[in-house]
Amino acid sequence: MPLLLFSGGKSTADHAKLGAQIKYLKIYLSTRNLNESYNDFQDISRFVLDTNLGKFSKTVEGDDFDIGFLRAANIRISLDNGEGRFFYNRGFFENKFIDRSRIKIVAGFRDIEDPTDENEIVSDVIFEGFIDDRATKIDERQGVVQIQALSYSDIISRIRTDPGAVTNGQTFKVALFNLLNTREITQFLNVALENINPQINNTIDDFEFFVGKQLKSSINALLLASNSVLKVQGSDIVISGRATSNAVRHSFTGRGGNSPATIIEIKEYNSGMQRVFTQLTLNETEFEADNKVIRRYGASRKQIDIGFVTNSTTISQIAANILGEFQTPKAEVEVTTVYMGDEVDLLDIITINSRGFLTELDPPRYNTGLLYDGGRRYAGRIGATRIDPREGWRVLGITHDFKTFRTTFKLRSAGIVA
């Protein structure tokens, strides 16, 4: 949620609609002491070379039918080291570790009427993570230090599964809590049982499935079996069902409508066929969609191993959920708008009112010389994608571009919601 609001009560979304705005961007550093404690965050914004500040992305799915795990991209930050503040054991890091020191990015807008008033700012903590010192590069001649910050959720990919965390008879909910409730994670993120609410909460039949696995693999398997997703809200790990609500969080307007457009670009619109599979091998058991579905969308197979479940009834239930989600195509699209902060989060529902229009630039006519080899291009068109404003789109990915101060949402159709 926003840290500060305008006195008029505007949100980030309200401010983004204005014809002009002044961006607000701050970078903070919390250094890690030799005893592994952390110091308070310090503002290092004046050292940041904005020409090298890139994008931050997060998503709950990959491109290969992976289901449910939060993926947050790393972000690279270049710092002016002319004053020697960022060398090893000097400046900010005197008697401190660079590795796993914390980075925080706060972004939003200033009030255009009074930009000097710090109380008239709306902003969100849009990224929190830690420095991966393996990627630190110091160019002493240029006086530049380049650091790479990993999101807190990335720690899940860097540790092993605790072999004693899961036992037979545990529910998926308890197993997820026990796996995540480790010191390596809780030093960065809060893990609470009340925030772990898988859509399907069956029980573990064979705990040995988890022995020797990386934690990410174990969590992914449980999320898949429970038809759930993991994301980070603030500093809390939250696990919930894939489709917890169809309430519309925000509405965007494209070109061709009666109101000003809030969409800068619509791209990558597709039918979603690339994600469809109609046959499933689950723990070596074969499942198929209805013959009508296979005839319509083809026979494509996905193989999944969730060996911690051996009960045949439970396996059939899980297979039905997975096929139900992916046996028919759901349209996908990417929408770019002005920077939105945390106004829209992963799994939220949005709507798009894009009526679409088409304009001929130079309609081709017989014998007019519009020839490819004649030095003239063919006739072109400009237009917009037509999208029904009643259709809901679930947010599966968010990218914030700090250079352009724009936000891009990766969306999948959730059907008619309005």
Give the 3-state DSSP-derived string for the chain, with helices as H, strands as E and coil as C.
CCCCCCCCCCCHHHHHCCCCCEEEEEEEEEEEECCCCECCCEECHHHECHHHCCEEEEEEECCCCCEEEEEECCEEEEEECCCCCCCCCCHHHCCEEEEEEEEEEEEEEECCCCCCCCCCEEEEEEEEEEECHHHCEEECCCCEEEEEEEEHHHHHHCCECCCCCCCCCCEHHHHHHHHHCCHHHHCCCECCHHHECCCCCCECCCHHHHCCCEHHHHHHHHHHHCCEEEEEECCEEEEEECCCCCCEEEEEECCCCCCCCCEEEEEEEECCHHHCCCEEEECCEEEECCHHHHHHHCCCEEEECCCCCCCHHHHHHHHHHHHHHHCCCCCEEEEEEECCCCCCCCCCEEEEEECCCEEECCCCCCCCCCCHHHCCCCCCEEECCCECCCEEEEEEEEEEECCCCEEEEEEEEEEECC
Question: Which of 371 and 76 is assigned the larger pLDDT?
Answer: 76
What residues are paired with 106 via a beta bridge? Answer: 26, 125
Residue 180: band (very low, low, confident or very high) from pLDDT cuts 50, 70, 90: very high
Please enumerate in sequence order all residues whose Cβ is within 8 A of that of 408, keeping only pairs 6 or more positions apart, or say none: 334, 335, 336, 337, 398, 399, 401
Residue 359 has pLDDT above 60, yes or no: no
Question: Which tokens is 280 given?
Answer: 């499933």
Please enumerate in sequence order all residues whose Cβ is within 8 A of that of 341, keeping only pairs 6 or more positions apart, or say none: 2, 12, 107, 108, 122, 123, 124, 126, 407
What's the confidence (pLDDT) of residue 7?
36
Residue 259 has pLDDT above 90, yes or no: no
Report how far residue 281's alpha carbon sits from residue 253's, in angstroms, rounded to the nearest whole number.
Answer: 42
Percentage of residues in the chain with pLDDT exceeding 90? 34
Residue 97: band (very low, low, confident or very high) from pLDDT cuts 50, 70, 90: very high
Q: Taking residues 108-136, report their average pLDDT.
A: 79
What residues are paired with 232 via a beta bridge? Answer: 237
Report how far residue 363's alpha carbon sits from residue 137's, in angstroms, rounded to the nearest whole number.
Answer: 55
Report how far residue 385's alpha carbon sits from residue 388's, in angstroms, rounded to the nearest whole number.
Answer: 10
Residue 63: band (very low, low, confident or very high) from pLDDT cuts 50, 70, 90: very low
What's the confidence (pLDDT) of residue 382?
54
Question: Which of 53 and 124 is assigned the larger pLDDT?
Answer: 124
What residues are paired with 38 via a beta bridge? Answer: 32
Are 391 and 416 a contacting pair, CB within 8 Å?
Answer: yes
- Dihedral over Cα of 313, 314, 319, 325: its sign: positive
Residue 51 has pLDDT above 70, yes or no: no
Q: Which amino acid is at 158?
A: R
**Across the chain, what does the average pLDDT equal?**
82
353: exposed, middle or buried (Cβ count in 10 Å: 0-12, 13-18, 19+): buried
Radius of gyration of the chain (CA): 25
What's the confidence (pLDDT) of residue 229?
84
What's the confidence (pLDDT) of residue 18?
63
Report how far residue 228's alpha carbon sits from residue 243's, in angstroms, rounded to the nearest whole number.
Answer: 8
pLDDT winner (highest mean) among 111-115, 143-147, 188-192: 188-192
Question: Which of 153 and 42 is assigned the larger pLDDT?
Answer: 42
Residue 321 has pLDDT above 90, yes or no: no
This prediction has a pTM of 0.81
Question: Which tokens is 163 given?
Answer: 């072999």
Class of the CATH domain delimited by 248-272+330-416:
mainly beta
Residue 140 has pLDDT above 60, yes or no: yes
Residue 224: band (very low, low, confident or very high) from pLDDT cuts 50, 70, 90: confident
User: Per mean pLDDT, which range of 183-192, 298-307, 368-377 is the poorest?
Assistant: 368-377
What's the confidence (pLDDT) of residue 305?
87
Q: Taking residues 323-352, report their average pLDDT.
A: 90
Reported as a single tens digit per residue, the pLDDT across 366-405 is 455 544 455 555 555 555 678 888 999 999 899 999 888 8
Please enumerate in sequence order all residues whose Cβ is within 8 A of that of 266, keeping only pairs 6 or more positions apart, or say none: 254, 333, 334, 335, 336, 352, 354, 384, 385, 387
Residue 8: band (very low, low, confident or very high) from pLDDT cuts 50, 70, 90: very low
pLDDT winner (highest mean) among 160-169, 247-256, 261-270: 160-169
* First and final C-alpha spacing in the chain: 26
What's the confidence (pLDDT) of residue 255?
74
Q: Taking residues 314-333, report their average pLDDT.
A: 90
Residue 339 has pLDDT above 70, yes or no: yes
Residue 316 has pLDDT above 90, yes or no: yes
